[in-house]
Amino acid sequence: MPVARELTFAPFRGSAAVAAGFVTRRQLDGLAWRRLYRDVYRRAGLDLDTLAWCYAAGLLLDDRGAVSGLSAAALWGADVCEPGAPVEMTVPPPVHLRPPPGLVIRRSPLDPADVSLRARTPVTSPVRTGYDIARCGNRVAAVVGLDALLSRRLFGIADVARYALARPGWRGSAAVGPVLALADAGAESPMETRLRLVLVDGGLPRPVVQHEVRDAGGLFVARLDLAYPAHRLGIEYEGDHHRGRGVFAYDLRRINALKLLGWRVLRFGPADVYRNAAGIVSQVRTALA
C-alpha cells in the first residue's frame, strides 16, 4: 500500500490518519511507523532531531497551549537545544496536561497574542519566547538562549523589556533585567556567548562582539568573535570545525594579517570555557595589562 504524502515527512496523529484512510490501525502497529507519544507517530527510519520532537509534542496540545522556552527558540531557528533535551510546553493554569517522558510542562498565563503557528505547531511568539528564556532561572542558559534567539532578528532587547515591564509579578520576572543587560544580538554561537560571560563574570570589561578589523586603507582584514579594540586584543572561541584543513589554512593567514596590524589574539576551546574559566580570565587580564 503506498504511503500517503502527508505521513512521509512529519509527525502525525494516528487516530486522524486512520480516520482519513491514510493508514490502518494494524499498520500503525507495524515496523513502518514509530510511536513517539500516545497517538503520535512518525515514519520509521527518519531522523528525530529537536525540531521533529517539538512538532510531535505540539500535536498533544490540541489548542491548549504552545511549545515554549528553548524548544520554541529552536522552532524559530535558534540552535540552542542540546540533543535529547526534553521539549518544553506552556499551558494556561486551568489546563491539566500530564506530560509523558521527554516533555516538560510549565503553567503560566498565555494570551492569544503570545501564540504563533510554526509549521502548523503552536509556539510562543518570539518576544514571549525571549521573555520565558530570560526568566528561566539559569542565568548562563538564559543569556545563551536569548543571544541565539536575538540573532534571528525577530525582535529586540527593548521588546522583551517592555513585555516584562507589563508583567511585574510573574515568576522569575526579577531575573529578566539582569539577563537583558548581558544579552547581545551580535553573538554568533552559544559557545561564544559562554566565553563572553566567563570574561564578564571574571570582572573584566565587557568585550565588543563580532568586531571588524580593517587596515589603514579601510579594507576588511578579519572579524573577531570578541575584542578589546583599544588594546588591539582579540578573543576567539575555537570549535572543532577549525581543525579542517581549509579552515586551518585560512586561520593562519588571518592571524598573520592581524599580527601585522599589531593585534594579539587569544584562542580558547570548549575545555577552557567549561573547566578553566579562571585561566581564561587570568590570561586576558594579563594581556590587557
Q: What is the Cβ-side half-sphere exposure of residue 183, based on CA atoms within 13 angstroms?
A: 31
**Whether residue 162 is found in the same domain as residue 206:** no
The rounded distance, in Å, linking the Cα atoms of 27 and 247 is: 49
In a shared domain, residues 172 and 260: no
Residues 74 and 169 in one domain: yes
pLDDT of 235 reads 97
Mark which of 156, 182, 208 sits at the end of a domain. Answer: 182
**CB-based burial of residue 66 (10 Å sphere; 0-12 exposed, 13-18 middle, 19+ buried)?**
buried
Chosen domain end from 182, 207, 240: 182
64 and 148 assigned to the same domain: yes
Domain boundary among 154, 182, 210: 182
- Say if residue 168 is in the same domain as residue 222: no
Any idea what the Cα angle at residue 211 is, between residues 289 and 245, rounded to 5°? 100
Distance CA 201, CA 26 (A): 58
Closest CA to 85 of 54, 43, 129, 45: 54
What is 235-274 written as a DSSP string? EEE--GGGGSHHHHHHHHHHHHHHHHTT-EEEEE-HHHHH
Q: What's the confidence (pLDDT) of residue 1? A: 44
If asked whether residues 231 and 272 sit together in one domain, one would say yes
Do residue 159 and residue 237 come from a single domain? no
Residue among 126, 134, 180, 188 at smallest CA distance from 158: 180
Give the separation between CA 6 and CA 41, rounded to whole angstroms: 12
In contact, 220 and 214? CB cutoff 8 Å: yes
The set of cell numbers assigned to 39 is 497517538
Helix-, strand-, coil-residue percentages of the chain, each rounded to 5: 45, 20, 35
Domain span at 15? 5-43
Q: Number of structural domains, the chain?
A: 3
pTM for this model (two decimals)? 0.90
Q: Distance between alpha carbon 66 and the CA centroid of its chain, in Å?
A: 17
The CATH number covering residue 199 comes to: 3.40.960.10
Q: Among positive and negative, which fits the CA dihedral 92, 98, 102, 104?
A: positive
CA gap 126, 132 in Å, rounded: 10
Are residues 206 and 178 part of one domain?
A: no
Q: What is the dihedral of CA 275, 269, 178, 185, to 10 degrees?
A: -170
At which residue does the C-alpha cell 534571528 appear?
A: 152
38 and 57 in a single domain? The answer is: no
Are 141 and 226 in a shared domain? Answer: no
- Please tell me whether residues 178 and 279 are part of one structural domain: no
Q: Could you read off the pLDDT tens digit of each residue along the chain, which spans 289 residues?
A: 455 777 888 899 999 999 999 999 999 999 999 999 999 999 999 889 999 999 999 999 988 999 999 999 999 999 898 888 999 999 998 888 888 888 999 999 999 999 999 989 999 999 999 999 999 989 999 999 999 999 999 999 999 999 999 999 999 999 999 999 999 999 999 999 999 999 999 999 999 999 999 999 999 999 999 999 999 999 999 985 555 455 667 788 889 999 999 999 999 999 999 999 999 999 999 999 9
User: Are 149 and 217 contained in the same domain?
Assistant: no
